[in-house]
Chains A and B, each alone.
Chain A
Amino acid sequence: MSVQKPFLPPATPLKPRLRGLIIGASSGMGAALARRLAREGYTLALIARRADLLDSLCKEINQAYEETRVLNYAHDVSNYDEVPDLLRRIVSDLGGLDTVIFAAGVNYPPILAKDNFDTDRQMLEVNLIGAFAWLNPIADMFQSAGRGQIVGISSVAGDRGRVGNAGYNTSKAGLTTYLEALRNRLTRHGVNVLTIKPGFVQTEMLKAAVGPTPFAIPVEKAANDIYKAMRARKQQIYTPWFWKWIMLIIRNIPSVIFRKMNF
């Protein structure tokens, strides 16, 4: 294999560039974060399943800054075998890696009252196993480097198992726990692991949602909150912030009552 790298504007002491990887970047929060981080001068590798969407996002960003700030890679997160080679290629193309955002997520609300095994399995495969496939090797690399930041987009939905969508709840609960485990392992090695728990955000996923979606915020607002938390190297945030208090209450509703509730 010969070395053929895309040309990126160089990083110098006077024009430093952090290198980031966003997994699940074609729409929603991933795309909003891509726009936001590009604005902050990051050089980014964007991964998504939908190549056409990703391609137009990349064109939009690169044209806006008149230089290559983002590179795109079409990849389905559940093709786990592709990860090692793709990761190595991305790190090589970017010229290093400082920050990784795992934003890949799917939500298939059950149409019938009964949960559907196939969609549940897909949610687990993308939302949780996809995170394992990508973040395990990245955690090893960052631990070895003694530096780096891992951001995982989990959800308030992972805080309780609810009547509505067991598969999604479980995948996000798993992701939250996985990120916590990574945090406990990596903080001592100088790596920051940030868990994001958004409430309702105006994305494609929300449009497909069943039932009420109170306090929905624009996706740019969520991306802004996430960027601020990244800069402050926080451990966990809710976006918007008041979900912290809502979830504090919900998490503490006794099961005797919770199992009689309908949401």
Chain B
Amino acid sequence: MPDEALIIYRANIMNTSIQLLNNFASLENFGHSLRASAYVIKPKCAEEISEAFQLAKKNGLSITARGAGRSYNDASLNGGGIVLDMSGMNKIINWDSATGQVRAEPGVTIQQLWQSVEPEGWWPPVVSGTMFTTLGGCLSANVHGKNNFKVGTIGEHVLEFTAILPTGAEVTCSPQKNADLFYSMISGLGMLGVFTSVTMQMKRVYSGLLEVDARPAHNFHEHLTDLLDNAPNYDYIVGWLDTTAGGKSLGRGQIHAARYLNEGEDKDAKNTMLLKNQTLPSRIFGVFPKSILHYFMSPFVNNLGTWGVNTGKYIASLPHHTFRESHAAFHFLLDYIPNWELSFGRGGLIEYQSFVPKETAEAAWSEMLRLSHKRGMPPYLGVTKRHRPDQFLLTHAVDGFSLAIDFKVTNGNREKLSAMLQDFDKIVLNAGGRFYFVKNSETAPESAKRFLGEDTIAKFKKLKKRCDPNGMLESDLYRRVFGEF
């Protein structure tokens, strides 16, 4: 059969565009612990997003946008439906180095963004722990950085965005214009519309370096007190938590607090702001390629190995010290070891992040960690941060702290781990805490209902009906958590 005839024949077989049939792809979450196949369409412009909505409607398929696919769970998966791969819309439309305002397409990554603005003395006001996320994804999840207590989430630095709704309407939103959509589409998990451009304000910096204080915390109380009391004196603060230590040392770890350098403090600012001085080294000791490091880590990603690594790291963190470090090196810790998540083996990893008010956090997390030790499933990595509340509709923030912990998933531990996380949920909810939808993969609808509150859910449902009357925008996350509401 000649090619053309073959194409027509195939199109007829599926009774739809050829694109659907041959764009079936198997997609994963970031932790490689979840997989769902979908028809992937890669739009290049806003019109092609509209076309995708038409195609979805015609074929009775649901649709969801996917940025870099870096969320730890099912936020960018849509099994059996259409997934819009937004990485094709990755142009920085306009960058004004005089005002620090940038307008970009939603597929632009944090990496592209900082690399565009940094050499001219600017830095994105909020960045995630990895630079591979996209702006669209960051807005949908309303991500925070290590400066959440000071500057809020990424949404607070968005001046304006444009989006396409499933109704076909194109909207422009800002805190003044269409404010209800502005505060709900940011944090809305991509369930109200698809971003087509984002305008953001960058932050002026006077050096490519940050001044970092590193000091140990000997127990949970010291750990959280440090975050609480010292945060106001810094621009960034983050804690590493030794998840394996118990007894009196429970919650011990290391605090990294950093501040921007003022004008004149860095005599060599022009040089430190050059991109070549901002990149993460690709080799260790100049010889060992990091890209294969995860193979050598995997033997340690078990209870004993993690205990050894955590204890070693804690001992190394005991001396106080102050040093200067590039922005990229300080922020993108997760990118230090490429594909580190692969070291968790075939079952992948899951992350559990809870946000708990400052008054109840210590008791709640102490109980959680003790429970994990008692059941023989200590988390392998723990990170704490200081937070403040914000006014976005599906917010995860509280006036308190967050604790993110990672678990390895194996065929043998799924049931036990699932039961433990349900117990964790109870502890967190009883402490007045909240969860982060793009990290926690097991949050039950009832838990979400409890921390979001009936009012918020009613508001969201109303907006959803207005923006998406046919209910076309659905991700696996949406069906899992919001499906029953």
- Chain A: residues with CB nearer than 8 A to chain B? 1-5, 7, 10-16, 19, 83-85, 88-89, 91-98, 136-137, 140-142, 144-147
What is the number of contacts between chain A and chain B, taking CB atoms within 8 Å?
126
Q: Tell whether, in the assembled complex, residue A5 and residue B480 are in contact, meaning their CB atoms are under 8 Å apart.
A: no
Question: Does B203 sit within 8 A of A, measured CB to CB?
Answer: no
Q: Does B269 contact A (CB under 8 A)?
A: no
Let me know if B31 and A96 touch, CB within 8 A. Answer: no
Task: List the B residue with the shortest CB-CB distance to A19.
Answer: B79
Tell me whether B250 is interfacial, beta carbon within 8 Å: no
- The reply on B319 being an interface residue by CB < 8 A is no
User: Within B217-254, which residues are at the interface with A (CB < 8 Å)?
Assistant: none
Given the known inter-chain contacts A10-B479, A136-B13, please indicate yes or no for A3 contacting B25, CB distance below 8 A. Answer: no
Give the contacting residue for B57; candidates A1, A10, A11, A84; CB below 8 A: A1
- 4 residue pairs, one from A and one from B, having the closest CB atoms: A95-B79, A13-B33, A96-B79, A1-B60
Shortest distance in angstroms between B77's beta carbon and chain A's nearest beta carbon? 9
B32 nearest in chain A by CB position? A13
A3 touching B26 by the CB < 8 A rule? no
Partner of A147, one of B10, B21, B37, B347: B37
Binds A, one of B306-314, B425-433, B448-456, B466-474: B466-474
| B residues 344-395 in Cβ contact with A at 8 Å | 347-348, 350
Verify A3–B62 contact, CB threshold 8 A: yes
Which residues of the partner chain A approach B60 to less than 8 Å between Cβ atoms? Answer: 1-4, 88-89, 92
Minimal beta-carbon separation of A18 from chain B (angstroms): 9
| Chain B residue nearest in CB terms to A15 | B418
Contacts of A10 in B (CB 8 A): 74, 476, 479-480, 483
Tell me the bound Cα distance from A7 to B479 in angstroms. 9
Does B463 lie at the interface of the complex (its beta carbon under 8 Å from any beta carbon of A)? no
Decide if B13 touches A95 in the complex (CB within 8 Å). no
Q: Which residues of B contact A91 (CB under 8 A)?
A: 37, 80
User: Is there an interface contact between A14 and B421, defined as CB atoms closer than 8 Å?
Assistant: yes
Asked whether any CB of chain A lies closer than 8 Å to the CB of B36, the reply is: yes
The interface bits of chain B over 307-351 (1 if a CB of A lies within 8 angstroms of the residue's CB, else 0) are: 000000000000000000000000000000000000000011010
**Closest A-chain residue to B78, C-beta based?**
A95
Contact A96 B36, beta carbon cutoff 8 Å? yes
- B151 contacts A by Cβ under 8 Å: no
Cα–Cα distance between A85 and B58 once the two chains are bound (Å): 11
Of B34, B61, B79, B480, which contacts A3 at CB under 8 A? B61
